[in-house]
Structure 1
Amino acid sequence: MIVLLSLQVFDDCEQNYPRMLQHNDSLQSSTATEKGTAQYLLCGIRGSLSQVFDIQIPNITVPINIGVTQIDFSLTDIKIYNLQVPELDVKLNEQNIVQLYLPNCDVDLKFQWKFQQSSYPYTTDSGSGTVVLRNGTMSGSAISEVDGVKCPGHMKVNVIKSNLEYQSLKIQLQGGQSWIFQSLIDIIMEAVQVQIAGFISSTMSAGFVKLANDVFEDGRREMNYANKKFIKDERYTDRVQIGSRFATLLFSGQTYLKENLTDEYITNGVGGITLNKFNTDIQMAVKDEAFNNIFYMFHKYENAFSGKDFKCVKHPTLRFTNTAALVSILVEVNETQVEIQLIAKPVVMDNISAITGKIRFDYFPYSIELRDGIDADSLLAAVLEHMNDTSEDAAFQYNYTLMVDIRTYQVVFDASERVMRLIGDTPEECMPYRLSDPL
């Protein structure tokens, strides 16, 4: 129930994109198996548990009727000071429902309490207290949809069922010197315990929602490139795709000129992405057109691929074979056009401090069209050097996760679907948060 809400994105809709994207507009996807989803979420929770201790918890008041009078028993200044989440289990089915279970949770709260009698003699009392919940199991089910009205491209998750069960819940009250409090303490404890159980369930839900959005939020609906001129569109194109024991998020992945969002490289969709082709815990797929989109923008608005001794006639184009990525570039030298092909080897980079990463290419020679009067070797060397120099600026950007080191993942090319997949497993032990050099 709780961690599932991390799939939401709480963001305003600041960019006025020209159209609402559909399923077939997806250039990027992220897929996780049940095991991968569970470990991903669990590591995120463990890495950010300290945030839940700072949650502002609302006060609660429990009215207790004892015949001739009523007592209002209030809890204030409620703080979580211990929270243990040792494991998490996820169940995914093809009805687009996600079920989560967090068994064996321990929760400790501390608070101030106040006792006030509503009739004569209007006795008041106060003190402090603790709640100790052991072996709790939080569970729930949810479905998702893309918000097509208020905020197109943003995920909306609806919780359809939630529950908290526990083996032990103990409340300890300190203070309380009045005779009426001492005489009614057993009645108070019985009445308060029921309220406390529901209170912990709702509080933990709110707490994990806050925590999850801080950790798992795919962040911006756009990502600025280093030159601030271009943005990467991170909108969702469909609800969470739930298959048999896997879940996939579909993203736009398109690149726009920030000052002219109407200039779309892709307008009619690029077809779907097969969601789950491997048994690895996590896989990220990127269509070839995502890279061509970037080449188009950087060529049109930056002339980024023209060198000192040659002119790039049109934007480079990339296509995947089953073993490599090939980039074709048409250049002009001395009024003669020459077609060059380069092998592009992907290099995955990260920038943890910004929660972003890049996929750039190292380029190697493949072929060059021979033309009279053109020194093919010199031209190929010049183009190769220039493409490698611009590779990082015109890289594909993605939102990075702290729990998975995608730099270690295997690259698999899929020519039939025109995608590159990064596949790998989540670590058995949660990786510590780490810093890397800025990109």
Structure 2
Amino acid sequence: EALGMKLDDIVTNLDLGIAVIDLTLSDLTVTNMHVESVVALCLPESQSLEVDLGDTDMALSFSWAFKQEGWPYVSDHGTGTASVEGIMGSVIGELGYDHDCGVGQLTSGSVDFDFGDIDISLQGGGSALFGDILNMLVGLLEDLFSDTLNQIIADSLLENINSNLQQTAIQYIADNMSE
């Protein structure tokens, strides 16, 4: 399940032309996720499963910090939130068999999600003082979040599907042992 999931830190180097900024997002946590619909389609010819996600919303919290590499060495830090609405897309994974567990497994293949509105809010530090820099960073953060969220959603879907496959296999074995 994605809720409460801790994500890897995002560390990037942004060349703004007049300055180079080191940006770090840490303590990334999924704080809310609402999934309107999930449809799974079995594609027997390619032994794969397509999982389509419809109209999903997600919220994240994080800590942020930036530091300018050159003079005047401006830096700031604080916390932030991101709200993503209207996530739609699909994951296509290969169906396989886990010989250790004795159940089917779905492995990641292609991931393709589109994001509606991404609203990012930064708090703390001297954010009022460095408002122009932060406004520039918010636009760049939207791109970073799009890339990161693609993988988060895919991993969460695969984990849930594989958990359900394993539970189904365990229930099938239990039902057949009692006969």
The aligned residue for residue 166 of structure 2 is: 218
Higher radius of gyration, 1 or 2? 1
Q: Quote how far apart the aligned CAs of 1:161 are.
A: 1.4
> Secondary structure of the equivalent of 1:54?
coil
- RMSD, matched Cα: 3.0
Q: Please report how far the alpha carbon of residue 137 of structure 1 lies from its aligned counterpart in structure 2 after TM superposition.
A: 0.8
More deviation, 99-108/160-169: 160-169
Letter in 1 for 2:6: Q
Runs of 5+ in structure 1 lacking a partner?
A: 1-50, 220-248, 254-349, 360-393, 397-439
Q: Partner residue of 1:91? A: 41
- Correspondence 1:203 to 2:152: yes
SS at structure 2 position matched to 1:56: coil
Match of 1:139 among 75, 90, 96: 90
Q: Does 1:395 align with 2:178?
A: yes
Whether 1:55 and 2:5 are equivalent positions in the alignment is yes
Structure 1 residues 171 and 154 mapped into 2: Cα distance closer, same or farther (>3 Å)? same
| Number of residue-to-residue matches in the alignment | 178
Taking the aligned partners of 1:178 and 1:172, their CA distance within structure 2 comes to 11
Q: Specify every segment of 5 or more residues in structure 2 that has no aligned partner in the other structure, as ranges.
A: none
Q: How far apart are 1:74 and its partner, in Å?
A: 1.2
1:52 aligned counterpart, secondary structure:
coil
Distance 1:122 1:86, change over 3 A: same
Match of 1:173 in 2: 122
Match of 2:75 among 103, 113, 124: 124
Q: Percent identity?
A: 18
- Secondary structure of the 2:166 match is coil
Q: Which residue identity lines up with residue 86 of structure 1 in the other structure?
A: E
Confirm whether residue 358 of structure 1 aligns to residue 165 of structure 2: no
| Residue identity matched to 2:60 | L
Are positions 1:80 and 2:30 aligned together?
Answer: yes
3-state DSSP class of the match of 1:87?
strand
More strand by share: 2
3-state secondary structure, aligned to 1:119: coil
Residue by residue over 1:311-349, the C-alpha shift from the partner in whole angstroms, topping out at 9 and shown as x without a partner, is xxxxxxxxxxxxxxxxxxxxxxxxxxxxxxxxxxxxxxx
Q: Distance in 1 between matches of 2:20 and 2:68?
A: 6
Alignment partner for residue 108 of structure 2, among 152, 159, 166?
159
Alpha-carbon separation, structure 2, partners of 1:167 and 1:130: 16
Aligned to 1:100: 51
User: TM-score if structure 2 supplies the norm length?
Assistant: 0.82
- Indicate how the Cα distance of structure 1 residues 152 and 102 shifts in structure 2: closer, same or farther if over 3 A, else same: closer
Secondary structure, aligned partner of 2:37 = coil
Distance 2:127 2:118 in 1: 25
Residue 19 of structure 2 corresponds to 69
Residue deviations 1:355-375, cap 9 Å, x none?
A: 97435xxxxxxxxxxxxxxxx
User: Counterpart of 2:140?
Assistant: 191
8 A contact 2:111–2:154 mirrored in 1: no
Native 8 Å contact 2:76 2:125 kept in 1: yes
Aligned partner of 1:171: which letter? I
Q: Secondary structure at the match of 1:183?
A: helix
Give me the whole-angstrom Cα distance separating, in 2, the residues matched to 1:100 and 1:208.
8
1:58–1:113 Cα change, 3 Å:
same
Q: Matches of 2:144 and 2:65 in 1, distance apart?
A: 15
Aligned counterparts of 2:50 and 2:161: Cα–Cα separation in 1:
16
Q: Which amino acid counterpart does residue 81 of structure 2 have in structure 1?
A: T
Describe how 1:337-348 pairs up with structure 2 within 5 A: none
TM-score under structure 1 length normalisation: 0.36
Q: In structure 2, how many angstroms separate the alpha carbons of the residues matched to 1:142 and 1:55?
A: 21
CA distance in 1, matches of 2:67, 2:73: 7
Going from structure 1 to structure 2, the CA distance change for 1:180 and 1:142 (only over 3 Å counts) comes to same
| Among candidates 57, 63, 72, match of residue 112 of structure 1 | 63
User: Residue type matched to 2:164 in 1?
Assistant: F
Q: CA deviation at 1:212?
A: 4.2
Shift of 1:104: 0.4
**Structure with the bigger percentage of helix:** 2
Separation (CA, whole Å) in 1 of partners of 2:12 and 2:93: 30
TM-aligned CA deviation for residue 180 of structure 1: 7.2
Deviation at 1:118, TM superposition (A): 1.4
**Per-residue deviation, 1:202:** 1.1
CA distance in 2, matches of 1:152, 1:86: 31
